[in-house]
Amino acid sequence: MDVTKTRKKIMSRIFITGSADGLGKMTAQLLVAEGHKVVLHARDNRRANDAMEATPGAEGAIAGDLSAIKETVKVAERANALGVFDAVIHNAGVGYREHKRIATVDGLASVFAVNGLAPYILTCLMTRPKRLIYVSSGLHRQGNPSLDDIAWQNRPWSGFNAYADSKLYNVILAFAVARKWPGIFSNALDPGWVATKMGGPGAPDNMEDGIETQAWLATSNDDEAMANGQYFYHKKFRVPNPSAAKAGIQEKFLEECRRFSGVSFPV
């Protein structure tokens, strides 16, 4: 695929969470091939080394387990020590096939900790980039907008529902950032149901379209890519769960994340 024909590009410096495998790794490889500076992320040193081997030309890799609040804070600190990024792609995620609630060191459901809370903490603590991209899912439309028991401490466990909720949180966060920081391009996207380790081998969507959309939002100066508070699927606007655009829901989500993490959203 000749991506130079599909979008205008500016050379950028990009940090991608969860880029040791799956869509994160493939997006990193595409961006490096295009000449961008890319910093990778993986949950531990071994996987960070694997990520560097898989993406030759990457600027570096940061190790840190996003299921742990203290580790996520350290990831933000390590990223800030490397300098300012033009874009951050919040790609790291846990899937929906957990048959029982897996608790983190902080006592939270891992799906919430990695998919929902970690992007919040990184957004709050990292030096603000020009662009923020939050990888969501079409399943976010089935998420529960009540935000009651978002860490699944009391509800009967459902891996599917926990995942759908967490993907709704990604869109809520993207839209909250867009509202509060209007000078930043903050958007969410659905990469499609693609054949990654999470999506499974029978997934029907086009892998390249999902990768390209992340890279396009991070680097393109096309008018459509320089949006704020939008939800995309394959480089096209899609209507998201309408609850994500409600300021009251956004504020409740930010407050819940502050309560769990001890990190306040900066004004």
Catalytic machinery residues: 163, 167
d(CA 171, CA 162): 15
For residue 266, the 8-state DSSP code is P
Nearest Cα to Cα of residue 209 among 230, 187, 193, 231:
193
Nearest Cα to Cα of residue 1 among 213, 232, 225, 202:
213
> 146 near 96, Cβ under 8 Å?
no
- Which parts of the chain fold into alpha helices (H)? 22-33, 45-54, 69-81, 110-112, 118-125, 159-180, 207-219, 247-261
Residue 221, token pair as written in the block = 């100066």
Helix (H, G, I), strand (E, B) or coil at 217: helix
